[in-house]
Amino acid sequence: MEPDGSGSAPVLVLGATGGQGGAVAAALNRAGRPVRAMVRDPQSASARKLGAAGAELVAGDFTDSGALAAAMRGAAAAFALTTPFESGSAAELAQGHAIIEAATGAGLPHLVFSSVAGATAHTGIPHFESKAQVEQALATSGLAYTVVAPTYFYDNALGGYQDLLAGVLELPLPADHRLQQLARPDLGAFVAMVLADPAAYAGRRFELASDAPTPTQMTQALSDALDRPVGLRETPMSDVRRRSSDMAAMWEFLRGPGYQADIAALRRDYPAVGWTSFSEWAQRTLRPEA
């Protein structure tokens, strides 16, 4: 089936069982767009859940150009991301090139690529630089594309959920230092908006943030949502460096100039996204059942 621009052709979502891809698939479902989800294991619980929600499941991974091209054929567009955290920056570049090669070979009408805010700022952060190289390859590929560049996700806080329940938010940030952050559903809503009129967003890059709370404001919002006190424990940068030089470079950047998304302009120009505040996210995500 050839894409006809009417919304009847599916949108391919890579990483659909993950946080970003899942948010995009959910937003497309809400918009009535058919979803084709590439998953590693169609029999996994998360993949079966996607199928039950109406998604067409196809098996493959981000490095398999043949599987990617097959999945992209007949699609109206695709949402793609790359990840350095399983195998490193070189693997992320390989993923990016495989996605671009497949999209070119399949004649994909539009590709939305999820990068990271700050990727084009020459920060020297390894996983920012690898995403910047994928963006550069995309810009010279001849494909119609849009780049979305998320900031820090709210739900990263849930990685320390047991600590939150114990009353501690651990972050390598001073209490009064703002951190631009994004709600995953806002990312999904933004991508769905782009894919409703892809020509209007072709060749454009958007750094995305929903809010910019300080750790003090975060702990207050988390305390209110959990009905228990939560305080900040500032992680020493020496601890971060011992765990990961990549993450240490990122947190040094975030402790300095940090992300520079224009939150006021995003809220002004794209109100339909909703733009969830950190406090709203905490209430929706953590508020105990009455």
> Which residues, in sequence order, are CB contacts of 193 under 8 Å at separation 6+?
270, 272, 273
Does 206 or 2 have the greater pLDDT score?
206
Q: Please tell me which residue, 64 or 247, carries the higher pLDDT value.
A: 247
Region 68-90 average pLDDT: 88
Sequence-distant (6+) residues with CB within 8 A of 122 are none
Q: How far apart are the first and last CA of the chain?
A: 49
**Is residue 5's pLDDT more than 50?**
no
Tens digits of residue pLDDT in 140-182: 999 999 999 999 999 999 999 999 999 999 999 999 999 999 9
Which parts of the chain are beta strand (E)? 11-14, 35-39, 56-59, 77-81, 111-114, 145-150, 152-153, 168-171, 181-182, 204-208, 231-234
Q: How much is the pLDDT for 88?
A: 74
Average pLDDT rounded to a whole number, residues 226-239: 97
Average pLDDT, rounded, for the chain: 94
Q: Which residues, 6+ apart, have CB-to-CB distance to 205 below 8 Å?
A: 115, 120, 135, 146, 147, 149
Grade residue 4 by pLDDT with cuts at 50, 70 and 90: very low
268 half-sphere exposure, CB direction, 13 A CA radius? 4
Do the beta carbons of residue 104 and residue 69 sit within 8 Å? no
What was the pLDDT predicted at 1?
33
Of 88-92, 113-117, 262-266, 283-287, the one with minimum mean pLDDT is 88-92
- Between residues 6 and 86, the one the model is more confident about: 86
Fold of 11-154+182-209+260-274: Rossmann fold (3.40.50)
Count the neighbouring beta carbons within 10 Å of the beta carbon of residue 74.
Answer: 16
Nearest to 116, CA basis, from 20, 27, 226: 20
* pLDDT bucket at 50, cuts 50 / 70 / 90: very high
